[in-house]
Chain A
Amino acid sequence: MARINNKYLNDFEFVLWVLQGCEAGSVWDCLPHSDEFEEAVNVVRSVRDVRPELGLEEKNELMRRIRVSYLKSKSSNHKKLMLVVSICSVVAVCLILVLGHRVFKSSGLEVIVYVAESSVSVIDLKDGSKVWLCPGSRLTCPVAFDSDIRVVTLEGEAFFEVAHNPEWPFEVRSEFMSATALSTSFDMKVSFDPSQTQHVLLVDGSVGVEINGHGGQVLLRPSELLSYNNDSYLVREVNPEDFLSWTGLYQNIISGVNSISEIASKISSHYHVTVRGSESVMSIKCSGKLVLFDNIYQTLDVLTYVAPISYSVSGNGEIILKKK
Chain B
Amino acid sequence: MAPDEVFSLLYVNYVDDLYYFGISMGYGEDAVRDAIHDVFLKLFSSRTRYEAVKNWKAYLFRSLNNRLVDLSRHPTDSLESDRKGIEALLEDSFGEREVDETKSLVANRLTCLINSLPYRQKLSIHLRFFEEMSYDEIAEVLRCSNHAARISVSKAIQNLRKYNLLMKLWQE
Q: Indicate which residue in A9, A12, A66, A69 contacts B164 across the interface (CB closer than 8 Å).
A: A12
Cα of A4 to Cα of B160 in the assembled complex, Å = 19
Q: In this complex, what residue of B is CB-closest to A69?
A: B41
Interface flags for A57-89 (1: CB within 8 Å of B; 0: not) read 011001101110110010000000000000000
A53 contacts partner chain B, Cβ-Cβ < 8 Å: yes
Chain A, 29-44, CB within 8 A of any chain B CB: 43-44
Q: Indicate which residue in B41, B128, B129, B170 contacts A73 across the interface (CB closer than 8 Å).
A: B41
What residues on B are CB-neighbors of A10 within 8 Å? 170, 172
Contact A50 B170 (CB under 8 A): no
Q: Indicate which residue in A6, A11, A66 contacts B40 across the interface (CB closer than 8 Å).
A: A66
The verdict on A52 contacting B89 (CB below 8 Å), with A21-B132, A66-B41 known, is: yes
Contact B90 A20 (CB under 8 A): no
The verdict on A66 contacting B161 (CB below 8 Å), with A15-B170, A44-B106, A52-B90 known, is: no
Chain A, 190-227, CB within 8 A of any chain B CB: none
Size bracket, chain B contacts: 35 or more
The verdict on A50 contacting B104 (CB below 8 Å), with A10-B170, A15-B110, A20-B128 known, is: yes
Contact B44 A66 (CB under 8 A): yes
Q: How far is the CB of A266 from chain B (nearest CB, A)?
A: 80
Q: Indicate which residue in A2, A62, A69 contacts B105 across the interface (CB closer than 8 Å).
A: A2
Cα of A3 to Cα of B60 in the assembled complex, Å = 38
Contact B107 A50 (CB under 8 A): yes
Question: Which residues of chain B have a CB within 8 Å of any CB of chain A?
Answer: 11, 15-16, 19-20, 23, 33, 36-37, 40-41, 44-45, 86, 89-90, 92-94, 99, 101-107, 110, 128-130, 132, 157, 160-161, 164, 169-170, 172
7 contacts between A and B (CB under 8 A): A12-B161, A12-B170, A16-B157, A50-B107, A51-B90, A52-B93, A53-B20
